[in-house]
């Protein structure tokens, strides 16, 4: 099941892709990680999807990651008399704490946190930013706002506050119940919505422990302000471009995508680029040229993974969307300019032994012209440090820990293989050569670079590099330090 590309593909499961047979077809077409969106999934649905993905992984003896996306807080206006009103440009519109049917002049807002935090001058965005208002007055029980861009507004439409730091955590009661269920059934990554600050990640980390990796979705302006601390607190990042494009001017999103990708890569944290990547393929068997360029840009930027949402969850052509994403990524990585672009931004190593080993591995592999880099890794940290360098060689992550193998399925360039820790240095080299040969990463008389930590089985102790060449049967014929 060796992929022909290094960037990974994430696909959201939904009505169009929930059958086990379709999940298997999507995996064979190129999916590395399946996403379960808890905004639209019951606990029973999540368990069924998890069982199906694990069955496919076992059938094909290949680690497949599961990313569960928590809904997070959602803010919505109340009900309108008649279900829908029209709000005029320039009008003064009020949000009230008194529950009553709304009109073209006011509506009930059932969120006391907003009344506590909003200030005059803050922007209010309704219905995914279609309506825009600016707060001109705040009282204990009402907020008055000037309508900058009006339009039709229906009951229960969402409201966003890009300028307001709300006094709430990232988990609602629903999220806490979902989180407990997801940890019970077993998922590999947890995506956190509505992250405003690094403390939000720390709060969830206390509940999750090491039972899943934590991925912070960057979708709020306040998260951009605290980006460095959020990256440090997280195991990975997602560029949630849909919400970013609502709460910030859309022309800023491409630059922020590059900034987040660059910073995450420098920190050795995987980053996923998401939202509307092949949106037209929800109803069309082919994407637009602009969408193809959008996916290509993410691959050229060095993102670890690109993600499909509605395209695979509810679209008419989920299989074709995966195949298209796969073909775009393969074509980009084969482009003559790819290596120059992806290495145009250097990522200075951090002052640690593991980073020094990873940097040296990249340089050695390029100099000696080897076929693959083989990383023995218990926690995944060794593979993460190596992939941070974006080497030109395939990366194999050999691990005795199944959860590590599945988590690495989200990471650029890494193919995980389950294997036990070697008993000796000789066994380490022999096992690495045999697996690389059997998996098709090295041909007879080719060479591999091996990184590991001694003593074996000690997490975070990457301290050794070996070079080995293989004979016609995949056995090592020479090795050197």
pLDDT digits (tens, 9 = 90+) for 241-255: 999 999 999 999 999
With 60 as the cut, is the pLDDT of residue 301 above it?
yes
Q: Rounded distance, CA 401 to CA 37, Å?
A: 26
Contact (CB, 8 A) for 470 and 442: yes
Strand runs (DSSP E) across 83-219, as ranges? 84-87, 92-96, 106-108, 123-126, 131-138, 142-149, 151-154, 159-160, 189-192, 213-218
Q: Are residues 152 and 60 both part of a single domain?
A: no
Q: What is the pLDDT of residues 263-289, one digit of tens each?
A: 999 999 999 999 999 999 999 999 999
Residue 348: predicted pLDDT: 74
Q: Are residues 294 and 187 both part of a single domain?
A: yes
SS3 assignment, position 436 = helix
What does the pLDDT average to over 306-312? 97
Q: Are residues 363 and 389 both part of a single domain?
A: yes
Q: Are residues 49 and 110 both part of a single domain?
A: no
Residue 451, Cβ neighbours under 10 Å: how many?
25
Q: Are residues 361 and 459 both part of a single domain?
A: yes
**CATH number of the domain within which 260 lies:** 3.20.20.60
Query: What is the band of 358 on the pLDDT scale with cuts at 50, 70, 90?
Result: confident
Inside any domain, residue 343: no
Inside any domain, residue 470: yes
Q: Are residues 327 and 393 both part of a single domain?
A: no
What does the pLDDT average to over 346-370? 80
Q: Are residues 39 and 89 both part of a single domain?
A: no
Catalytic residues: 35, 76, 217, 275
Inside any domain, residue 148: yes
Give 201's contacts (C-beta < 8 A, 6+ positions apart): 170, 192, 195, 214, 216, 230, 233, 234
What does the pLDDT average to over 33-42? 97
Q: What is the pLDDT of residues 72-83, one digit of tens each?
A: 999 999 999 999
Alpha helices in 76-217 (DSSP H): 112-117, 173-185, 198-208
**Mean pLDDT score across all residues of the chain:** 94
Q: What percent of the chain has pLDDT over 70?
A: 98
- Selection from 172, 235, 174 nearest residue 209 by Cα: 235
What is the bridge-based pairing of β-strands 159-160 and 123-126?
antiparallel
Q: Are residues 153 and 287 both part of a single domain?
A: no
Residue 56: predicted pLDDT: 98
Q: Rounded distance, CA 218 to CA 247, Å?
A: 11
Cα distances (angstroms) measured from residue 138 to each of 88, 160, 459? 21, 17, 54
Residue 97: predicted pLDDT: 96
Q: What is the pLDDT of residues 177-198, one digit of tens each?
A: 999 999 999 999 999 999 999 9
Least confident range from 53-62, 203-212, 343-352: namely: 343-352
- Which one is predicted more confidently, 361 or 373? 373
Looking at 338, 370, 391, the residue that finishes a domain is 338
**CATH number of the domain within which 421 lies:** 3.40.1380.20
With 60 as the cut, is the pLDDT of residue 478 above it?
no
Inside any domain, residue 347: no
Inside any domain, residue 383: yes
Cβ burial, residue 302 (10 Å; 0-12/13-18/19+): buried
- Selection from 104, 199, 113, 119 nearest residue 163 by Cα: 119
Q: Are residues 132 and 184 both part of a single domain?
A: no
Q: Rounded distance, CA 414 to CA 386, Å?
A: 9
Q: What is the pLDDT of residues 397-409, one digit of tens each?
A: 999 999 999 999 9
Looking at the structure of the chain, the number of domains it has is 3
Residue 453: predicted pLDDT: 79
Q: Are residues 33 and 97 both part of a single domain?
A: no
Looking at 160, 194, 213, the residue that finishes a domain is 160
Query: What is the band of 351 on the pLDDT scale with cuts at 50, 70, 90?
Result: confident
Q: Rounded distance, CA 12 to CA 191, Å?
A: 13
Q: Are residues 101 and 123 both part of a single domain?
A: yes
Which two structure tokens, joined as six digits, stand for 256? Answer: 């922020």
Residue 481: predicted pLDDT: 42
Q: What is the pLDDT of residues 92-111, one digit of tens each?
A: 999 999 999 999 999 999 99
Q: What is the pLDDT of residues 450-471, one digit of tens each?
A: 998 777 766 666 778 999 999 9
Query: What is the band of 480 on the pLDDT scale with cuts at 50, 70, 90?
Result: very low
Looking at 310, 338, 366, the residue that finishes a domain is 338
Least confident range from 12-21, 211-220, 359-368, 467-476: namely: 359-368
Q: Rounded distance, CA 314 to CA 310, Å?
A: 5
Inside any domain, residue 79: no
Q: Are residues 100 and 239 both part of a single domain?
A: no
Which residue do the tokens 């439409």 mark?
A: 157
Q: Which domain holds residue 91?
A: 84-160
């Amino acid at each position: 099941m060796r992929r022909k590309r290094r960037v990974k593909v994430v696909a959201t499961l939904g009505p169009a892709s929930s059958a086990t047979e379709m999940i298997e077809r999507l995996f064979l077409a190129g999916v590395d990680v399946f996403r379960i969106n808890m905004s639209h999934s019951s606990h029973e649905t999540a368990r069924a999807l998890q069982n199906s993905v694990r069955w496919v992984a076992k059938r094909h003896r290949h680690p497949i990651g599961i990313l569960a996306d928590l809904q997070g807080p959602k803010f919505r206006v109340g009900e309108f008399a008649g279900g829908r009103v029209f709000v005029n440009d320039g009008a003064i519109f009020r949000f009230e704490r008194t529950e009553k049917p709304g009109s073209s002049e006011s509506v009930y807002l059932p969120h006391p946190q907003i009344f506590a935090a909003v200030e005059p001058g803050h922007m209010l965005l309704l219905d995914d930013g279609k309506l825009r208002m600016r707060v001109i007055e705040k009282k204990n029980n009402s907020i008055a706002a000037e309508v900058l861009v009006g339009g039709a507004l229906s009951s229960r439409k969402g409201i966003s506050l890009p300028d307001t730091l709300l006094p709430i955590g990232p988990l609602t009661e629903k999220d806490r119940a979902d989180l407990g269920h997801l940890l019970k059934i077993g998922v590999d990554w947890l995506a956190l919505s509505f992250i405003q600050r690094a403390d939000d990640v720390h709060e969830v980390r206390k509940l999750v422990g090491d039972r899943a990796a934590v991925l912070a979705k960057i979708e709020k302006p306040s998260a951009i302000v605290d980006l460095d601390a959020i990256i440090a607190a997280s195991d990975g990042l997602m560029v949630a471009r849909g919400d970013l494009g609502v709460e910030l001017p859309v022309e800023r999103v491409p630059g922020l995508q590059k900034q987040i990708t660059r910073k995450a890569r420098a920190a050795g944290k995987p980053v996923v680029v998401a939202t509307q990547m092949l949106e037209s393929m929800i109803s069309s068997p082919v994407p637009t040229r602009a969408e193809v360029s959008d996916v290509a840009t993410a691959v050229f930027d060095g993102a670890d993974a690109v993600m499909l949402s509605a395209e695979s969850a509810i679209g008419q052509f989920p299989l074709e969307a995966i195949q298209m994403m796969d073909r775009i990524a393969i074509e980009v990585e084969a482009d003559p300019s790819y290596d120059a672009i992806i290495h145009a931004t250097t990522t200075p190593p951090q002052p640690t032994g593991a980073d020094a080993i990873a940097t040296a591995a990249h340089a050695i592999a390029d100099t000696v012209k080897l076929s693959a880099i083989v990383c023995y890794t218990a926690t995944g940290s060794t593979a993460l440090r190596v992939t941070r360098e974006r080497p030109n060689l395939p990366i194999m992550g050999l691990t005795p820990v199944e959860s590590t193998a599945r988590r690495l399925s989200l990471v650029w360039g890494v193919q995980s293989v389950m294997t036990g820790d070697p008993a000796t240095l000789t066994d380490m080299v022999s096992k690495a050569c045999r697996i690389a040969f059997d998996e098709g990463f090295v041909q007879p008389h080719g060479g591999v670079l091996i990184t590991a930590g001694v003593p074996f089985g000690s997490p975070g102790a990457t301290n050794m590099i070996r070079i080995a060449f293989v004979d016609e049967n995949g056995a090592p014929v020479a090795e050197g330090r």
